[in-house]
Amino acid sequence: MTKELSILDIKGAEVGQISLDEKVFCVEPNVHVMHMALRRQLNNGRAGTACAKTRAMVSGGGRKPWKQKGTGRARAGSLRSPLFVGGGVSFGPSPRDYSFKMPLKVRRLALRSALSSRLLSSIVVKDFSQIDEPKTKLMVEALKALKVEGKILIIADDKAAENAFLGLAVRNLPNVKLILPSNLNVKDILEADNVILTESAVKEIQERLS
């Protein structure tokens, strides 16, 4: 089954219709799968390089600092104990891999769920060919005409000829993020208040996820 959605130009005028595959854009959002996909994306982005030396790794401390008895002080076997300045760290972090895997079918379900959850706040535009100069002002005017605000995600191929100046026009707007259809991810979709897709991006996403 398909769902019809209007295609707009960047001035907000309707220029056609596009059929959305309901298996991609109109599924019942699976919150658990989206949560897993978001955790996976965040975890896979962690460096995992935090490291602290234990008492076994800190150099020095081979000599007993003072005799066992008779000093009135607590007994000590090494100055590299966690009790001393310059000593090792108890239960400190060590390098590790935080990433985990998800089956491809589950990752695709998460993307379909995220797209479906944002359907009501999604807009399809023909392309950005009317932005014929690399000027932020033109992009601001386009966003006003499309009546979108807040965090905005634009899914478009900025390497295509019709979107030649899109990347330069949006890069100074802190509330706008531009990604390629091939880089579609759950985090960016869920963080956005509004999603703008080009007609070609919709077709590419449907080919990939349907």
145-201 confidence digits (pLDDT tens):
999 999 999 999 988 888 989 999 999 999 999 999 999 999 999 999 999 999 999
Q: Are residues 21 and 78 in the same domain?
A: no
Q: Are residues 144 and 205 in the same domain?
A: yes
Q: Are residues 32 and 127 in the same domain?
A: yes
pLDDT confidence tier of residue 1, bands split at 50, 70 and 90: low
- Is a pLDDT exceeding 90 seen at residue 210? no
Domain end among 38, 70, 92: 92
Give pLDDT, residue 4: 83
Query: What mean pLDDT, rounded, does the chain reach?
Result: 93
Tally of domains within the chain: 2
Q: Are residues 75 and 127 in the same domain?
A: no
Q: Are residues 40 and 66 in the same domain?
A: no
Q: Are residues 57 and 43 in the same domain?
A: no
Beta strands in 31-187 (DSSP E): 122-125, 152-155, 176-179
Full residue range of the structural domain in which residue 9 is found? 2-47+100-209
pLDDT 10s digits, 60-78: 988 999 999 999 999 999 9
**pTM of the entire predicted model:** 0.83
Dihedrals φ, ψ of 131, to 5°? -85, 90
Three state DSSP letters for 178-202: EECHHHCCHHHHHHCCEEEEEHHHH
Instruction: For Cα atoms 54, 57, 58, give the angle at the middle one, nearest 5 degrees.
Output: 90
Task: Quote the CA–CA distance of 7 and 116 in Å, as a whole number.
Answer: 18
Q: Are residues 118 and 149 in the same domain?
A: yes
Q: Are residues 147 and 198 in the same domain?
A: yes
